[in-house]
Amino acid sequence: MKLSHFSSFVALSSAEAELDVMGITSDSRKVEPGFVFVAVRGAKADGARFIGDAVARGAIAVIADRDSAENLPDVPVARVDDPRLALAKGAAALFGKQPETMVAVTGTSGKTSVASFTRQIWERVGHAAAFIGTTGVVAPGRDEYGSLTTPDPVALHKLLAELADEGVTHASMEASSHGLDQRRIDGVRLAAGGFTNLGRDHMDYHPTVEDYHAAKMRLFTDLLPKGAPAVIFADDPWSQATIDVAMSAGLDVLTVGRKGAFLELKRVEHERFRQRAEIACGGTIFEIDLPLAGDFQVANALVAAGLAISTGTTPARALLALEALKGASGRLELVGTTGNGAPVYVDYAHKPDALENVLKAVRPFTTGRVVVVFGCGGDRDRGKRPIMGEIASRLADVAIVTDDNPRSEEPASIRAAIMEAAEGALEIGDRRAAIREGVAMLHAGDTLIVAGKGHEEGQTVGDVTLPFSDHEEVRQALRELAV
Ligand SMILES: CC(=O)N[C@H]1[C@@H](OP(=O)(O)OP(=O)(O)OC[C@H]2O[C@@H](n3ccc(=O)[nH]c3=O)[C@H](O)[C@@H]2O)O[C@H](CO)[C@@H](O)[C@@H]1O[C@H](C)C(=O)N[C@@H](C)C(=O)N[C@H](CCC(=O)O)C(=O)O
Ligand SMILES: Nc1ncnc2c1ncn2[C@@H]1O[C@H](COP(=O)(O)OP(=O)(O)OP(=O)(O)O)[C@@H](O)[C@H]1O
Ligand SMILES: N[C@H](CCC[C@H](N)C(=O)O)C(=O)O
Ligand SMILES: [Mg+2]
């Protein structure tokens, strides 16, 4: 491809426009001959420092910040206001294809669930559909474990082009606040966007909750074309602010939930492992049997149905498809029950609102005690630790505080920060031992939630990620208890 394909977002001389581009990256270590290197300022380093390295490895052109003051190398350097945006646009131009209908969902909690549900609805109605998010990539013939919630633009556009080549026509993805802030999806052509809710998260990255909300709002203000559908959960404290932003951006605002106008939740009857919902859409009432536990899953299902309907699926087919939904791995997932019938769930609540919701969700079906095993990640928002400690001790009968990816931090000090506000909690650092203790104490009528790691397959201590699965540990503990 000629560099001239980049001319809509970088100024190029006629000689530069004729250069052949073989690839694009913001990581000098990944540069191969013929690549364009984009120097971005990161959280840890300034990419401009690596321009020399990139050129030595064969970069034929560099895109950099207007004010990066590095010595200029012997290749053309295009100056832009926003190198991350240029990276996203460049990756989109270079890979050139994506599934025709794509939606993105943002919000503090529920993104993985909504994006997964949307894919399942599309699949059910006969589309070749993909999911891209925290748990990885799911598409016809693919089920891959993931790392970032929103992949970096180069990985993302490479994947989207592969999916399009494989015949995938529909894709739903998660838009994390990091991803939106870092322009990771600015090159994606989106048909619709979704919003679930806003709570405390990533306060290590965003200075204030307003800044965090604004980062999420880029989906509506900067990424969706005017008139595109914005499916917004209506019952969250941040719903109105989000609706206002989407309205001002000229989007077609479709609200869902008890206060929803597009999909109105009229009534829900909860059972332990399923719920029956009455949903009004365009004057018709649909009665839907949702095979999932947890109030919040009704909200997630409504946002997903809204996304599917607003991109062409009929309401009847989209809502009927909810009856066959499977929960995303590790989201209030029933992994087993003890001999005396106490259920054990694995859940991904690693932030305050999620923990609060999941503990409240199981209470109505717990005649005995709610037991929770949880921790907080190292090198992440420290402020959430006592908040989650307080929530666990208030909403669970037994809280066991353990380790969850301590990373570079001292595990005991993370636990101490949680314990400070977790009155009466037990502290068992070793997560395996904590899960065994939680399982062993269950009586008939109790419920155990193992929270924080969900689908994860490792425990990161220092720089090392050791294999670890809450699913596997729960199964093992249940087996041991049975003998
Ligand atoms: C804080 C953060 O978001 N960092 C992401 C960001 O890195 P960065 O730009 O800040 O990188 P940096 O290390 O400061 O380096 C600056 C630049 O110099 C380059 N460099 C560096 C060294 C070198 O030798 N040569 C070189 O060119 C780097 O490639 C980079 O372009 O951009 C990178 C490429 O997209 C990401 O891989 C990286 O994610 C890190 C690994 C990460 O842990 N991110 C997490 C916090 C994250 O993004 N989480 C969200 C939300 C999760 C959720 O709640 O669901 C997600 O979407 O996953
Ligand atoms: N709509 C919701 N409202 C509140 N809590 C929710 C909601 N949906 C899910 N949760 C809780 O949040 C956890 C994570 O859910 P999910 O993975 O769908 O969200 P996410 O936004 O993708 O999270 P992450 O940003 O961590 O990837 C669940 O295990 C559950 O505890
Ligand atoms: N995407 C989130 C996931 C956190 C999961 C939890 N298990 C932890 O390690 O803190 C993050 O990287 O902050
Ligand atoms: Mg997610």
pLDDT (tens digit, 9 = 90+) per residue, 347-378? 999 999 999 999 999 999 899 999 999 999 99
Measured in angstroms, how far is the CA atom of residue 43 from the centroid of ligand 4? 21
φ, ψ dihedrals at 35, nearest 5° = -85, 155
pTM for the whole structure: 0.94
**Contact, 48 vs 64, CB < 8 A?**
yes
In this prediction, residues 449-453 reach a mean pLDDT of: 98
Does 192 have pLDDT greater than 80?
yes
How far apart CA 198 and CA 181 sit, in angstroms, is 16
How far apart CA 9 and CA 28 sit, in angstroms, is 21
**Contact, 307 vs 219, CB < 8 A?**
no
- Which ligand 3 atom is the nearest neighbour of the CA of 452? 7
- Write the residue with the smallest CA distance to atom 55 of ligand 1: 149
Is any ligand 3 atom within 6 A of the Cβ of residue 405? yes
φ, ψ dihedrals at 380, nearest 5° = -135, 165
Segment holding 293, helix H or strand E: none
Is any ligand 2 atom within 6 A of the Cβ of residue 310? no
- The pLDDT of residue 70 is 60
Give the pLDDT confidence of 60-72 residue by residue, as tens digits.
999 999 877 666 7
pLDDT tier at 220 (50, 70, 90 boundaries)? very high
- The pLDDT of residue 103 is 98
Give the pLDDT confidence of 241-282 residue by residue, as tens digits.
999 999 999 999 999 999 999 999 999 998 888 999 999 999
Residue 177: nearest ligand to its CA?
1
Of 107, 103, 141, 109, the C-alpha closest to 122 is: 103
How far apart CA 388 and CA 376 sit, in angstroms, is 8
- Write the residue with the smallest CA distance to atom 14 of ligand 2: 348
**Domains of the chain by start residue, with CATH:** 3-81 (3.40.1390.10), 96-324 (3.40.1190.10), 333-482 (3.90.190.20)
Give the pLDDT confidence of 302-347 residue by residue, as tens digits.
999 999 999 999 999 999 999 999 999 999 999 999 999 999 999 9
Give the pLDDT confidence of 410-443 residue by residue, as tens digits.
999 999 999 999 999 999 999 999 999 999 999 9
Counting residues of the chain whose pLDDT is more than 70, the rounded percentage is 99
In this prediction, residues 41-59 reach a mean pLDDT of: 93
- The pLDDT of residue 399 is 98
User: 182, 186, 456, 463: which to mutate for ligand 1, most atoms within 8 A of CB?
Assistant: 182
Does 131 have pLDDT greater than 70?
yes
Measured in angstroms, how far is the CA atom of residue 185 from the centroid of ligand 2? 21
- Write the residue with the smallest CA distance to atom 11 of ligand 2: 354
Measured in angstroms, how far is the CA atom of residue 42 from the centroid of ligand 1? 7
- The pLDDT of residue 73 is 75
With b for 16 or more beta-carbon neighbours within 10 A and e for fewer, the 311-338 pattern comes to bebebeebbbbbeebebbbbbbbebbeb
Q: Give the Å distances, CA to CA, from 437 to 206, 246, 392, 393, 401.
A: 36, 47, 17, 17, 11
Residue 133 in tokens? 């998010």
How far apart CA 335 and CA 471 sit, in angstroms, is 7
HSE-CB of 57 using CA atoms within 13 angstroms? 18
- The pLDDT of residue 67 is 79
- The pLDDT of residue 208 is 87
- The pLDDT of residue 14 is 84
Is any ligand 1 atom within 6 A of the Cβ of residue 29? yes
Is any ligand 1 atom within 6 A of the Cβ of residue 113? no
